[in-house]
Structure 1
C-alpha cells in the first residue's frame, strides 16, 4: 500500500470512528467542494459541534501518537474553526490571544526558519534568471564562433536563425517536455528539499558544460540538460514557499520567485557587461557564470524545514508538527494550522482519489474543481509569454543592437532593463496581498500593450535622429516597469496556490510546463519573427497579444488573495460559466460606474459567500449542529 493510500485508509478509519455529520450535510459539503454552485467558501470544520470537534481532536492525537499535545490541539482546533472569534474562546489564555492578535498587527514578524525557506527559494529564482540572461549576452558572440551568422546575403541566414533560436530554446524545451513532469515523482520520493537539491546539481554542471562546448551541438545538449534542472526547480520552489507561509503574507513572500528571478536577470546582465571585454571567450564566461548562485542553493536547502503539508500527505504527522513549530511563532499556531490542514486532507482524499501519476494527470482535466484551477493556471502562465517579456529578456541585446547601439551600449541598455525589472518588482511584495493577483493583472496588461506599441513605432524614427535610440529604450523600460509588479510575480505565486494538495505537484508541473513551452516557442521563433516582420511588426504583434491575454484573465481567472490554501478548494469549485457571467454582469458595470463615472455609491455584489462558524454560536448550540 502506498503512503497516499495509507493516509486515505487512515482518514476513512478516523471518520468512521468519529461521530459523522448528517448524511445530507456531508453530501452538501462534498458537493460544494467539487461543484460550488452557491459560491460558498466553507471552513473544513464548518458545521461540527464543539463536542464532536473535541472528540475528533482526541482521535487525531491518539492516531498519531501525540496524546501529550491533546489540549494544545483542542485549542488549535477551536481557533481554526472560528478564527475571527478567537477573543471569545475560553480555552485561550491572554498570552494566546496576544499571539493571535500579532498575526495582524505584526504580520511580517516570522521565525527565521520561514524566512530562510523563502531565501532559498529566492536563490532558486535567481539561478533561473541568471541562466536565461547568460544567453542574452552570448547571442552577440557564439553565432560567430560556430559559423551561425545571419548577415544579409548569407545563403544559410534563415537556417542559422532557426539554429540560434533552438539553442536559446533548449532549456525550455527540455523543461516543458521532460523536466517539469519529473516534479511529481521527484517530490513523491525526495520531498521538496530533495527535489531542489537534485535541481541544484543540474544547474551547476550543465552551465559549466555550456562554457566548455566546442560545437553548437554540444552547446545545445548542455542547454537541454540545464532544462532538467530548471523545470522541477521552477515547479517546486513556489509550491515549497506557498506551503510554508501563512495565508495573510503568502502572496508577498511567494512572489519573491519573480522578485529574485528579476534579480538573477540583473546579475546575469551585470556579468554580461563585466565580461564583454574578455574577447572571444566572453560568451563562454557569460553562460558559465550562472553556476555561482546554484552552489549556495544546493547546500542551503538542507537547512530548511521540509514542507509540513508534504509530510502530512505522506503520513508523517509528528515530523510535520515539528516542521510547523519551526515555521510559526508559537505551538498554538502550529497546532491550529496542522489540524486545519489535516481536516482538509480528509475532505480532499474523500473526493479526489488520484493515487497514481497517470490518474493525477487525467484528473487535472476531469474533476471540476481541479479542472478550473488547471484552466486558470494555464491562462496566467500563457499570458506571461503572450505579454512579450521574454522576447526582451532573451534578446534585448539583439534588439538594442538592431536599434543602433554598439555592442557595449546594447549590453549596458540590457543591464538597465534588468535593473528596472528588478526594482519595480518590489512594490508587488505589498500590493499582491492588498490589491490581489487578478486586479494587478487587469491594471498592468493594458499598460504593457501601449508601451510595446510605442516601442515598435519608435523604429519608424530615422536612424539619423538622435531621439530614436533613447525613446526605444525608454518605452522598453516602461514596459518592464509595468510588467514587474503585475504579470511578473503573479503567475508562479498564483499557480502554486490554486491546486489541492492531492494534485499540487502535478498541477504545478502543468502550469510551469505551459509557461516554459511557450517560452521555448518564443525563444525559437523571435529571431525569425524579427527578421520577417521587422521590429515594428514584432512589437505590434506582442501588443495585440497583451489585449488577448487581458480578456482571458478577465473572464477565466478567480481571485485568491488572503485565502488559505484549503479555502481555495471552494473558490475553484465555482463553475467557470458562473465566474465569467459574474465578471460581465456584475464586476464590469460596477467598474464602469465607479472608475469611469466616479460614482462613489457604486457597490459590488460579492461573488463568494464565506461560511465561518461563530464561536459563541457553536458554544451555545453544542450538539445541535
Structure 2
C-alpha cells in the first residue's frame, strides 16, 4: 500500500473503541459544542482499557519495540498533572516533564533550527516589499511608465498617460500578491500531499530564489511583471506551508512565540530591504535592479538547508507513517517519552476528528471549509485575522512609504531614510510578541493594538493638512507612521499567520491555510493596485482616514469572530472551534464587553468575568500542575540552602 493511499483514519479504525469503553465522560460534539467544553480525548478511559488500546496501536503501526514507552506516554497524556505517579518513569524523564512548565524554552536545538531556518524564507517577502518600495522611485521612468503627473524636472510637460501609468505601476507592485492569491497558495495542498512539508518549502524557495534575480535583469515592464508573477507563486506556496510546519513541530506552550518568528523575519526582511535601498542609492540607473534583485539572498539558506530539518510528525501521521513520525518527534522533543506521549495523544485526537470529518478529496476539502461547522468556524476566524492585516493599512507603508514621504515634501534621499526608520521600528517592536503572544494571547494582542493603529493612521492623515513649508509637517507624519508600526508589529503583525496555522484540523490544514493566505495576499494585491489612484482621488488625508476607519471595522470583526487559541494543543482547538459562532458572539456582547467596561472604564477591580470555555478536570489541572511544580522546585531550593547553612 502506498504512502499516499494510507491515512491515519485507515490505520486507526481497528482500534477505535466503542462508547462504553471510553469511560465515564460524555463525548463532546465537535460540530456543536454548545457547552464550550474542552476535553482530553484520553480522559475517562479505564487504565486497563487504555493500555490495551496502546498495545493494539503499537502492533497496528509496527511500533512494538517501543510499546512500553508508548504506554508510559499515554498515561502521562491522560492526566498531565499526575505524571510523577506513572510507574517506570526515570528521573531524567521527570526533569524533562517538569521543565515543560518551569523552563518551557529549554527545547532541542533541532527544533529551533527548523523553525528559524524556515522562517528565514519570510525575509524574501519582506525584502521584496521594500525593494519594490524603493524601486518605485526609478523603474517607472526607465520603462517610460512614470506615475508622475509631469515628465520633466521642471514640471512643465504634462504626462498624457498619467492615470494609465498609475494603474500600471500599481499592477506591477501587486503582481506577486495576485499570483499568490490565485495560484501559489492553492498549489500548497497538492504539493504537501505528494512531497510533504519540506518538499513544498524547497519548491517555493526555488521560485523565490530565481524570480527575484530575473526581476533585476528585466528589460521592459512586461518581463518585470512576469518575473513578479513567478515570485508570487513561490511566496504564496511558502507562506501557506511554513507557519503550518512550524506550528506542527513545536510544543503548545511556546507555539505562538516560535511560529511568529515568521513575522519577525518578515519584519527583518523589510528592514534589510530598506537598508539595501539606501546602500544602492547613488549607483545610478541600475539602483532599482539591485533593490529588486537583492531579495534573493534570504532564499539561499532555505534552499540549501531545508532537508536538514525533520519532516512534520503530523504529516507523517496523516500518511500513516507512525514510525517516521516518532523519529521526527524524537528530534523535536527532549526525551523519547515526550515524543511517545505526543505521538499517542495526537493519534487519539485524529480518531475524534475522523468521526466528524472522514475522508475527502482535494476539491471536496475546499468545499468543506464552508460546510463542516467545526471547519467553517476556523475558516471565518482565519479570514478575519488575515483580511484585518490588510484593512489595518500596514502595506500602504510597506509598499509605498518612500512615495508617501516624497508626497509629504521630502526629497528622494530623505524619503528613503524615513522609510528606513519605519523598517527599523517595525523590526524592533516585533520582538516583544515572542513572549507576549503566549502570555496575553492572540486575541488580546489584537484587541489592544487595533484601536491604537486607528488613531495613529488618522493622525498621520491629518498631519498632511499642516502647511508643507512647516518644520512640523514631515516630522509629525513620520512620527505617527512610526507609532503605527510600533503598535502593529507586536499585534496584527505576528498573529494572522500564527493563528491561521493553528485553527484548522489536520485533515484540512493545508487547504485551510491556503484559503487564509490567499485572502491576505489577494487584499494585499488590491491595496497595492488601488493606493496610487486612491491617493490621487482622495488626497493623503482622505486615504489615511479611510484606512483608520477600516481599523475600527476590523476591531469589531475580531471581537465577535476570533476565539482565543493560546497554550492549547492543535488537537484541543477542535473543541474551541466546535463552539457555535452565535454562542461565542453572545458571550462577547453580554459578558465580556460589560466586564471590560466595569473593569477598565469604571475601574471596578472586583468585576469578575465568567470564562466561556470549561476545561475538563484533566486539562484544568494543568495550571495547578504548573503551580505545584514551581513550588516544589522552590521548596527543594530552600531546603538545599538550609542544609548548606
Tell me the CA shift for residue 354 of structure 1: 3.8
* 2:498 is aligned with 1:493: yes
* 2:613 is aligned with 1:597: no
* 2:194 is aligned with 1:205: no
Tell me the CA shift for residue 130 of structure 1: 0.8
The superposition leaves residues 353-407 of structure 1 with CA deviations (integer Å, 9 ceiling, x where unpaired) of 2421001101100000000000000000000000000011000000011111111
Counterpart in the other structure of 2:540? 535
Task: Choose the corresponding residue for 1:323, options 324, 328, 334.
Answer: 328
Counterpart in the other structure of 1:353? 358
Counterpart in the other structure of 1:67? 64
**After the TM superposition, which of the residue ranges 593-602 and 517-526 deviates more from structure 2?**
593-602
Counterpart in the other structure of 1:283? 288
Counterpart in the other structure of 1:39? 36
Counterpart in the other structure of 1:503? 508
Task: Choose the corresponding residue for 1:229, options 223, 229, 234.
Answer: 234
- The whole-number CA distance in structure 1 between the counterparts of 2:51 and 2:88 is 12
- The answer on whether the counterparts of 2:179 and 2:232 sit within 8 Å (CA) in structure 1 is yes
Task: Choose the corresponding residue for 1:20, options 11, 18, 21.
Answer: 18
Structure 1 vs Structure 2 CA RMSD:
1.6
Classify the secondary structure of the residue corresponding to 1:306: coil
* 2:185 is aligned with 1:180: yes
Task: Choose the corresponding residue for 2:477, options 465, 469, 472.
Answer: 472
* 2:400 is aligned with 1:398: no
Counterpart in the other structure of 2:113? 116
- The whole-number CA distance in structure 1 between the counterparts of 2:532 and 2:439 is 39
Tell me the CA shift for residue 615 of structure 1: 13
**After the TM superposition, which of the residue ranges 79-88 and 175-184 deviates more from structure 2?**
79-88
Q: TM-score, normalised by structure 2?
A: 0.93
- The answer on whether the counterparts of 2:147 and 2:169 sit within 8 Å (CA) in structure 1 is no
Counterpart in the other structure of 1:262? 267
Counterpart in the other structure of 2:8? 7
- The whole-number CA distance in structure 2 between the counterparts of 1:184 and 1:275 is 39
- The answer on whether the counterparts of 2:21 and 2:49 sit within 8 Å (CA) in structure 1 is no
- The whole-number CA distance in structure 1 between the counterparts of 2:483 and 2:319 is 46
Tell me the CA shift for residue 99 of structure 1: 1.5
Task: Choose the corresponding residue for 2:46, options 45, 49, 54.
Answer: 49
Counterpart in the other structure of 2:633? none
Task: Choose the corresponding residue for 1:105, options 92, 102, 107.
Answer: 102
- The whole-number CA distance in structure 2 between the counterparts of 1:284 and 1:26 is 67
- The whole-number CA distance in structure 2 between the counterparts of 1:280 and 1:565 is 51
Counterpart in the other structure of 1:136? 133
**After the TM superposition, which of the residue ranges 93-102 and 186-195 deviates more from structure 2?**
93-102
- The answer on whether the counterparts of 2:7 and 2:318 sit within 8 Å (CA) in structure 1 is no
- The answer on whether the counterparts of 2:122 and 2:262 sit within 8 Å (CA) in structure 1 is yes
Counterpart in the other structure of 1:84? 81
Tell me the CA shift for residue 151 of structure 1: 3.0
Tell me the CA shift for residue 157 of structure 1: 0.4
The superposition leaves residues 545-603 of structure 1 with CA deviations (integer Å, 9 ceiling, x where unpaired) of 00000000000000000000000000000000000000011101111111111111111
Counterpart in the other structure of 2:442? 437
Tell me the CA shift for residue 21 of structure 1: 2.5
Task: Choose the corresponding residue for 1:146, options 143, 148, 151.
Answer: 143
- The whole-number CA distance in structure 2 between the counterparts of 1:379 and 1:311 is 30
- The answer on whether the counterparts of 1:88 and 1:615 sit within 8 Å (CA) in structure 2 is no
* 2:197 is aligned with 1:192: yes
- The answer on whether the counterparts of 1:32 and 1:40 sit within 8 Å (CA) in structure 2 is no
Tell me: CA distance 1:412–1:26, structure 2 relative to 1, closer, same or farther (3 Å).
Answer: farther
- The whole-number CA distance in structure 2 between the counterparts of 1:383 and 1:375 is 12
Tell me the CA shift for residue 315 of structure 1: 0.9
Counterpart in the other structure of 2:572? 567
**After the TM superposition, which of the residue ranges 38-47 and 5-14 deviates more from structure 2?**
5-14
Tell me the CA shift for residue 26 of structure 1: 11
Tell me the CA shift for residue 24 of structure 1: 10
Tell me the CA shift for residue 154 of structure 1: 1.6
- The answer on whether the counterparts of 1:176 and 1:514 sit within 8 Å (CA) in structure 2 is yes
- The whole-number CA distance in structure 2 between the counterparts of 1:295 and 1:395 is 27
The superposition leaves residues 202-257 of structure 1 with CA deviations (integer Å, 9 ceiling, x where unpaired) of 01111111111111111001100101100010010100000000000000000111
The superposition leaves residues 507-566 of structure 1 with CA deviations (integer Å, 9 ceiling, x where unpaired) of 000000000000000000001001111110010000000000000000000000000000
- The whole-number CA distance in structure 2 between the counterparts of 1:519 and 1:121 is 22
Tell me the CA shift for residue 86 of structure 1: 1.8
**Gapped runs of 5+ residues in structure 1?**
617-625
Classify the secondary structure of the residue corresponding to 2:263: helix
- The answer on whether the counterparts of 1:78 and 1:89 sit within 8 Å (CA) in structure 2 is yes
Tell me the CA shift for residue 614 of structure 1: 8.5
Counterpart in the other structure of 2:551? 546
Moved over 3 A (4+): 1-7, 23-28, 612-616
Aligned residue pairs total 612
- The whole-number CA distance in structure 2 between the counterparts of 1:25 and 1:471 is 65
**Gapped runs of 5+ residues in structure 2?**
150-157, 622-645
- The answer on whether the counterparts of 2:25 and 2:43 sit within 8 Å (CA) in structure 1 is no
**After the TM superposition, which of the residue ranges 593-602 and 270-279 deviates more from structure 2?**
593-602
The superposition leaves residues 16-69 of structure 1 with CA deviations (integer Å, 9 ceiling, x where unpaired) of xxx52329989952x521211110011111221111110111111111111121
Tell me the CA shift for residue 344 of structure 1: 1.1
Counterpart in the other structure of 1:425? 430
Counterpart in the other structure of 1:126? 123
- The answer on whether the counterparts of 1:82 and 1:615 sit within 8 Å (CA) in structure 2 is no
- The answer on whether the counterparts of 1:47 and 1:613 sit within 8 Å (CA) in structure 2 is no
Tell me: CA distance 1:225–1:353, structure 2 relative to 1, closer, same or farther (3 Å).
Answer: same
Counterpart in the other structure of 2:455? 450
Tell me: CA distance 1:195–1:470, structure 2 relative to 1, closer, same or farther (3 Å).
Answer: same
Tell me: CA distance 1:257–1:116, structure 2 relative to 1, closer, same or farther (3 Å).
Answer: same
